[in-house]
């Protein structure tokens, strides 16, 4: 005599989030791979927890599984949020001996969508400034976009026969780049930057064989590939990451 036994896979009836204050719930629902009215998959749930913990706006994410009936479950993601507005201040001495400083501020959860928005201002003999915006999940839950504009002016010496000749380097340009998540552990960036470089030589005594100034319009391509096997719990990080 032969008998067959069949067991029904448990179904996720409902998914909820607790502890959200500034993080947009719609973003988290887009990012997690576990969906309601699908079969429960413990590996997907564990991967979703790791994915949420990688977001800069989240300090820690855990999940509670509640049994509703013999075949249905409710998943509750419990979120502890990070403080995401990060200011910065740097004080130093410029090459000409004057006071130099740099101030910056970045928001890592702009609009609750895990977007980065920020900028800086620097006084180091000359004025420099920059603005940044990055939205990793702007287009899809795998595809995003970033842009930045930077005007960076430096005052540097050139040594000819041990005699310093100061020059001013002016680098002004903008970059646009795309971000793509290949899979959970691998992602890539590809960007193009258009900028102008100019050099002004301060040679009042006429000792330099260098020209008084140079200007160049440039275009550069940037590519980046990252492999990430980090497990993050609050400030504790375990694992490895590599950007070849």
User: pLDDT of 106-148, one tens digit each?
Assistant: 999 999 999 999 999 999 999 999 999 999 999 999 999 999 9
**Amino acid 83: pLDDT:** 93
Residue 7 has pLDDT above 60, yes or no: no
**Amino acid 8: pLDDT:** 63
**Amino acid 27: pLDDT:** 95
User: pLDDT of 213-239, one tens digit each?
Assistant: 678 899 999 999 999 887 777 776 776
User: pLDDT of 192-211, one tens digit each?
Assistant: 999 999 888 765 555 555 56
Domains and CATH numbers, the chain: 11-81 (3.10.20.310), 85-242 (2.40.160.50)
User: pLDDT of 160-178, one tens digit each?
Assistant: 666 777 788 899 999 999 9
**Amino acid 5: pLDDT:** 44
User: pLDDT of 65-117, one tens digit each?
Assistant: 888 888 888 999 999 999 999 999 999 998 888 999 999 999 999 999 999 99
**Amino acid 188: pLDDT:** 96
**Amino acid 189: pLDDT:** 96
Residue 243 has pLDDT above 80, yes or no: no
**Amino acid 26: pLDDT:** 95
Separation between Cα atoms, residue 49 and residue 28, nearest integer Å: 11
**Amino acid 161: pLDDT:** 66
**Amino acid 3: pLDDT:** 45
């Amino acid at each position: 005599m032969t008998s067959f036994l069949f067991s029904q896979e448990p179904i996720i009836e409902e998914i909820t989030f607790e502890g959200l204050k500034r993080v947009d719930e719609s973003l988290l629902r887009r990012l997690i791979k576990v969906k309601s009215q699908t079969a429960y998959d413990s590996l997907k749930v564990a991967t979703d927890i790791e994915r949420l913990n990688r977001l800069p706006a989240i300090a820690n994410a855990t999940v509670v599984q509640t049994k509703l009936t013999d075949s249905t479950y409710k998943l509750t993601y419990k979120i502890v949020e990070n403080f995401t507005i990060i200011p910065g201040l740097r004080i130093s001495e410029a090459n000409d001996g004057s006071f130099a400083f740099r101030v910056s501020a970045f928001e890592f959860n702009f609009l609750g969508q895990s977007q980065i928005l920020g900028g800086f201002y620097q006084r180091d003999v000359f004025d420099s400034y920059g603005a940044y915006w990055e939205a990793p999940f702007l287009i899809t839950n795998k595809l995003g976009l970033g842009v930045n504009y930077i005007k960076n002016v430096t005052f540097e010496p050139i040594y000819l026969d041990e005699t310093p000749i100061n020059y001013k380097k002016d680098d002004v340009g903008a970059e646009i780049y795309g971000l793509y998540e290949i899979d959970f552990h691998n992602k890539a960036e590809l960007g193009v930057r258009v900028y102008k470089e100019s050099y002004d030589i301060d040679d009042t005594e006429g000792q330099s064989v260098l020209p008084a100034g140079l200007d160049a319009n440039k275009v550069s391509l940037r590519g980046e590939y990252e492999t990430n096997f980090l497990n993050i719990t609050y400030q504790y990080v375990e694992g490895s990451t590599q950007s070849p």
